[in-house]
Structure 1
Amino acid sequence: MQFPESWLREFCNPALNTEQLADVLTMGGFEVEEIRPVAPPFTGVVVGEIKAAEQHPNADRLRVCQVDVGQPELLNIVCGAPNARVGIKVPCAMVGAELPPANDEKSHGKPFKIQLGKLRGVESQGMLCSASELHLSDDHGGLLELPADLPLGQNIREAMKLDDAVFTLKLTPNLGHALSVYGVARELSALTGAPLKTPSFPPVAVGNADLLPVKISATDLCGRFSGRVIRNVNTQARTPAWMVDRLARCGQRSVAPLVDISNYVMFEYGRPSHIFDLDKIHGGLDVRWGRPGEQLKLLNGNTVTLDESVGVIADDREVESLAGIMGGDATAVSDDTRNVYVEAAFWWPDAVAGRSRRFNFATDAGHRFERGVDPELTVAHIEHLSRLILDICGTPETSFGPVDDQAPNTVVPQPVTLRVARAAKVIGMPLSQAQCAEVMQRLQLPFTEGQGTLTVTPPPYRFDLKIEEDLIEEVARLIGYQNLPETAPLAPITPRVRSEARHGRFEVRHAMAKLGYLETINFSFVDEAWERDLAGNTDPVRLLNPIASQLNVMRSSLLASLLQVIKRNTDRRADRLRVFEVGRVFRRDAGTRTGADDVAGVAQPMRIAGAVYGPATQQGWAGKQPPADFYDVKGDVEALLSPRKPQFEADTHPTMHPGRCARVLVNGQVIGHVGELHPRWRQQWELSHAPVLFELALDEVLDHALPVAAVLPRQQAVERDIAVVVKESVTHAQLMRSIHAAPSAAMLRSATLFDIYRPKAGTDAGGAVAADEKSLAVRLILDGGQESLTDERIDAAVQEVLGQLQSDVGARLRT
Structure 2
Amino acid sequence: MQFPESWLRSFCNPPLSTTELAETLTMAGLEVEELRPGAPPFSGVVVGEIKEAVQHPDADRLRVCQVDVGQGALLNIVCGAPNARPGIKVPCALVGAELPPGPDGKPFRIKTSKLRGVESQGMLCSARELQLSDDHGGLLELAPDAPVGQDVRVWLNLDDTLFTLKLTPNLAHCLSVYGVARELSALTGAPLQPLAFPSVPVGCTDKLPVQVLAPDLCGRFSGRIVRNVNTRAQTPQWMVDRLARCGQRSVSPLVDISNYVMFELGRPSHIFDLDKIHGDLEVRWGRPGEQLKLLNGNTVSVDEKVGVIADAQGVESLAGIMGGDATAVSDATRNIYIEAAFWWPKAVAGRSRRYNFATDAGHRFERGVDPEHTVEHIERITQLVLDICGTPETVCGPIDDQRVRMPVRQPVRLRVARACKVLGMPLTQAQCSEALARLGLEVTPKNTPDATPDAADGGILEVVPPSYRFDLAIEEDLIEEVARMVGYQRLPTTPPLAPVTPRVAPETQRSPFAVRRALAALGYQETINFSFVEECWEQELAGNTQPIRLLNPIASQMSVMRSSLLGSLLQVLRFNLDRKAQRVRVFELGRVFLRDASVPDSDRTVAGVHQPMRVAGLAYGLVDRLQWGQKAREVDFFDVKGDVQALLAPFEADFEPAEHPAMHPGRCARVLLGGQAIGFIGELHPRWCQGWELPQAPQLFELELEAVLQRPLPQARPVARQQPVERDLAVVVAEGVTFAQVQAAITAAIAPNLLQAVVLFDVYKPQAQSARDGTAAAAGVSGVRPGEKSLAVRITLAREGATLTEAEIDAAMQAAVAELARRLKARLRA
Question: TM-score if structure 1 supplies the norm length?
Answer: 0.84
**Compared with structure 1, are the counterparts of its residues 121 and 498 closer, same or farther at alpha carbon in structure 2 (3 Å cutoff)?**
same
**Compared with structure 1, are the counterparts of its residues 54 and 500 closer, same or farther at alpha carbon in structure 2 (3 Å cutoff)?**
same
Equivalent residue for 1:602, pick from 590, 609, 621: 609
2:377 is aligned to 381
CA contact (8 A) 1:648 1:664 kept: yes
Q: Does 469-478 or 119-128 show the bigger shift?
A: 119-128
SS in 1 for 2:462: strand
Q: Does 494-503 or 425-434 show the bigger shift?
A: 494-503
Deviations 1:20-73 (A, max 9, x none): 111111122222222222222222222232333334444443333333333333
Deviations 1:126-151 (A, max 9, x none): 33322222222222222222222233
CA shift for structure 1 position 444:
0.9
1:366 is aligned to 362
RMSD over aligned CA atoms reads: 4.4
1:27 is aligned to 27
Equivalent residue for 1:200, pick from 184, 196, 201: 196
**Compared with structure 1, are the counterparts of its residues 622 and 365 closer, same or farther at alpha carbon in structure 2 (3 Å cutoff)?**
closer
Equivalent residue for 2:388, pick from 379, 386, 392: 392
The code of the aligned residue for 2:163 comes to: F
CA shift for structure 1 position 114:
2.8
The code of the aligned residue for 2:209 comes to: P
Alignment of 1:597-676 (within 5 A): 598-609=605-616, 637-647=644-654, 664-672=671-679
Alignment of 1:729-768 (within 5 A): 746=753, 749-750=756-757, 762=776
SS in 2 for 1:703: coil
Q: Distance in 1 between matches of 2:92 and 2:305?
A: 57
* Residue 167 of structure 1 pairs with residue 163 of structure 2: yes
Equivalent residue for 1:469, pick from 473, 476, 496: 476
Equivalent residue for 1:712, pick from 711, 719, 733: 719
Q: Distance in 2 between matches of 1:338 and 1:184?
A: 36
Deviations 1:595-649 (A, max 9, x none): 7765444333444455677887889999989987766665555444444444556
CA contact (8 A) 1:541 1:554 kept: yes
2:14 is aligned to 14
CA shift for structure 1 position 551:
5.9
* Residue 481 of structure 1 pairs with residue 488 of structure 2: yes
Deviations 1:341-398 (A, max 9, x none): 3333333333333334444443333333333222222222232233323333333343
Q: Distance in 2 between matches of 1:292 and 1:416?
A: 41
CA contact (8 A) 2:592 2:613 kept: yes
2:454 is aligned to none
Q: Distance in 2 between matches of 1:575 and 1:42?
A: 57
* Residue 794 of structure 1 pairs with residue 806 of structure 2: yes
Q: Distance in 1 between matches of 2:582 and 2:69?
A: 83
* Residue 186 of structure 1 pairs with residue 151 of structure 2: no
SS in 2 for 1:19: helix
CA shift for structure 1 position 178:
1.6
Alignment of 1:460-539 (within 5 A): 460-512=467-519, 524=531
Alignment of 1:715-730 (within 5 A): 715-719=722-726
CA contact (8 A) 1:445 1:458 kept: yes
Equivalent residue for 1:458, pick from 442, 465, 469: 465
Q: Distance in 1 between matches of 2:244 and 2:575?
A: 53
CA contact (8 A) 1:735 1:805 kept: no
Deviations 1:710-766 (A, max 9, x none): 333445445566788999999766765666667875455555566789999537989
CA contact (8 A) 2:746 2:819 kept: no
Equivalent residue for 1:148, pick from 144, 150, 175: 144
Q: Distance in 2 between matches of 1:539 and 1:308?
A: 28
Deviations 1:273-313 (A, max 9, x none): 33334444444444344444444444444444444444343
Q: Does 468-477 or 686-695 show the bigger shift?
A: 686-695
1:158 is aligned to 154
Q: Distance in 1 between matches of 2:244 and 2:99?
A: 22
CA shift for structure 1 position 212:
3.5
The code of the aligned residue for 2:810 comes to: V
The code of the aligned residue for 1:195 comes to: P
SS in 1 for 2:170: coil
Q: Distance in 2 between matches of 1:51 and 1:432?
A: 70
Q: Distance in 2 between matches of 1:122 and 1:773?
A: 108
Q: Distance in 2 between matches of 1:56 and 1:743?
A: 115
CA shift for structure 1 position 198:
0.3
CA contact (8 A) 1:744 1:801 kept: no
1:66 is aligned to 66
CA contact (8 A) 1:8 1:184 kept: yes
Which structure would you say has the larger Rg?
1
CA shift for structure 1 position 14:
0.1
1:78 is aligned to 78
Q: Distance in 1 between matches of 2:13 and 2:55?
A: 50
Deviations 1:660-696 (A, max 9, x none): 7665544444444556778888899899998776554
**Compared with structure 1, are the counterparts of its residues 689 and 761 closer, same or farther at alpha carbon in structure 2 (3 Å cutoff)?**
farther
Q: Distance in 2 between matches of 1:342 and 1:550?
A: 42
1:245 is aligned to 241
Alignment of 1:284-323 (within 5 A): 284-323=280-319
SS in 2 for 1:485: coil
Q: Distance in 2 between matches of 1:96 and 1:679?
A: 78
**Compared with structure 1, are the counterparts of its residues 71 and 524 closer, same or farther at alpha carbon in structure 2 (3 Å cutoff)?**
closer
Q: Does 122-131 or 172-181 show the bigger shift?
A: 122-131
* Residue 221 of structure 1 pairs with residue 217 of structure 2: yes
CA contact (8 A) 1:465 1:471 kept: yes
Q: Distance in 2 between matches of 1:310 and 1:167?
A: 34
The code of the aligned residue for 1:703 comes to: Q
CA shift for structure 1 position 526:
5.6
Q: Does 600-609 or 645-654 show the bigger shift?
A: 645-654
**Compared with structure 1, are the counterparts of its residues 158 and 738 closer, same or farther at alpha carbon in structure 2 (3 Å cutoff)?**
closer
SS in 2 for 1:175: helix
Deviations 1:211-238 (A, max 9, x none): 3434333333333333333344333333
Q: Does 142-151 or 308-317 show the bigger shift?
A: 308-317
Q: Distance in 2 between matches of 1:637 and 1:595?
A: 35
CA shift for structure 1 position 703:
3.1
1:408 is aligned to 404
Unpaired runs of 5+ residues, structure 2, are 448-458, 767-773
**Compared with structure 1, are the counterparts of its residues 624 and 287 closer, same or farther at alpha carbon in structure 2 (3 Å cutoff)?**
same
**Compared with structure 1, are the counterparts of its residues 749 and 532 closer, same or farther at alpha carbon in structure 2 (3 Å cutoff)?**
same
Alignment of 1:765-780 (within 5 A): none
SS in 2 for 1:219: coil
CA contact (8 A) 1:527 1:552 kept: yes
SS in 2 for 1:376: coil
The code of the aligned residue for 1:94 comes to: L
Deviations 1:529-574 (A, max 9, x none): 6656765656554544556667655454556666777889899999
1:48 is aligned to 48
SS in 1 for 2:90: strand
The code of the aligned residue for 1:43 comes to: S
Q: Distance in 2 between matches of 1:519 and 1:136?
A: 49
Deviations 1:101-139 (A, max 9, x none): 3x34xxx43333333344444443333322222222222
Unpaired runs of 5+ residues, structure 1, are none
Equivalent residue for 2:172, pick from 170, 173, 176: 176
Q: Does 654-663 or 256-265 show the bigger shift?
A: 654-663
Q: Distance in 1 between matches of 2:725 and 2:418?
A: 79
Equivalent residue for 2:345, pick from 345, 349, 359: 349
SS in 2 for 1:375: coil
* Residue 443 of structure 1 pairs with residue 439 of structure 2: yes
